[in-house]
Amino acid sequence: MIAPGDGKPMLEGLKVIDLTSVVFGPYCTQILADFGAEVVKIEGPTGDAYRPGAKPARTAGMGPGFIALNRGKKSLVLDLKDGADAAIMRDLLAEADIFVHNVREAAIERLGFGYEAVKALNPKIIYVHCVGFGSGGPYAGLQAYDDVIQAATGTASLLPRVDGDPRMRYLPSLIADKVAGLHAAYATLAAVTHRLRTGEGQHVEVPMFEAFASFMMKEHLDGKTFDPPNNDAGYARQVDPDRQPFPTKDGWISIVPYTLPQYTQVVALLGDPDLAGEERFQDIMGILHATKELYQRMAALTPAKTTAEWLEILRPHNIPCMPATDINDVIDDPHLRETGFFEHGEHPSEGPLFQMREPNSFSGWKPGPLGHAPLLGEHNDEFGKG
């Protein structure tokens, strides 16, 4: 392994065979590629199903979501039902450090790349299986997509608690896929650390259902934590219909009085010191019981000034606040621009584009320019696949 602090990518030297598609698995392997691992993306003849994107791309198969999740990887097209292609795959796995795939168990076994078969080729390999549901339960083997997991984890029941509309709805993000991808990345790196200590490879199963349930229920298990429960599930602060962005003269603002005394402080700063100074609010319990009233008063006061004016008033008092930004405008955020979060570069086939850099920073490594997402089969020749 590379010595720490030498300035080289921290995962340089690790070889990853990536047989994943769509979002969950590719997000995991994109993180590994960002940190310097060599990631070879194995695609079937028609490519990753996520390649096209929701809108027409400049080049067929190079949709924006695919570009975001597959930068820095090599693309090798293999039909694993073909004997010659399967032999190439076996050769790659024999030399790899990590194999990540999201093929269901029965199908990967039929192809000859189940864990025991791959372990026989390479005993030290870290074999990461991205699945929908853990193998120990009745849902094992079922297909899973983001919507399915949001539904199964109770996530689709949260918006009705906020706005009173009884229809269950998904959060408008591939949040379960992405959270599961992060779980897969840290599980992979934990297995790498284990191998450094013991010399042993292992099988790692990353179930999307369990990963996202863990993520969502950290706060939302709430009263169900206790046996017997002392309340329902659902963290009240997060499903409070009044805890939303507030309207301003020219837009919207997020104001978060986090400590109880900040509620009355904010109301006073927004222009109603008389309400904030009422005797009942001299007691913390009085503030606690009146948070709904105080939120509603904030919403009534904020339209009097612009978002920028409120920021100028609130920030000197250390009140957490930010403009509520339209998603179209995030790319122009001054902080993200100053930190270089959005990197402008040139893709060999797609031309100028923006990519998001790895958000963390390290004293022992400064990342170079981001790699580009590969065309389907772009690296076939490199692996002897004409």
- State whether 58 and 199 are in the same domain: yes
336 within a domain of the structure (yes/no): no
In a domain, 224, yes or no: no
Q: Are residues 91 and 172 in the same domain?
A: yes
Q: Which residues of the chain have pLDDT under 50?
A: 1-2
> Which CA distances in Å does 229 have to 139, 210, 221, 232, 358?
26, 21, 10, 7, 41
Q: Quick one: which of 56, 50, 55 has its CA closest to 69?
A: 50
* Helices within 155-279 (DSSP H only): 158-163, 175-198, 208-220, 260-270, 273-276
Q: 366 lies in a domain?
A: yes
Q: What are phi and psi of 343, to 5 degrees?
A: -95, 125
Query: Tokens 């096209």, residue?
Result: 52
Return the pLDDT at 5: 64
Please check whether residues 316 and 347 belong to one and the same domain.
Answer: no
Q: What is the Cα–Cα distance from 37 to 39, expressed in whole angstroms?
A: 6
CA atoms within 13 A on the CB side of 21: 17
Q: Which two tokens stand for residue 334?
A: 């001054």
19 and 112, same domain (yes or no): yes
Residue 238 included in any domain: no
Domain total in the chain: 2
Q: 95 and 20 in one domain?
A: yes
* Same structural domain, 30 and 102: yes
Q: pTM of the full predicted structure? A: 0.94
52 and 197 housed in the same domain:
yes
Q: Are residues 31 and 158 in the same domain?
A: yes
Instruction: Indicate left, alpha or beta for 52 from its phi (over 0: left) and psi (-120 to 50: alpha).
Output: alpha
Q: Name the residue with tokens 């100074």.
A: 277
Are 131 and 269 found together in one domain?
Answer: no
Domain that holds residue 139: 15-216+341-383
Residues 351 and 316 in one domain: no
Could you tell me if 203 and 304 lie in one domain? no
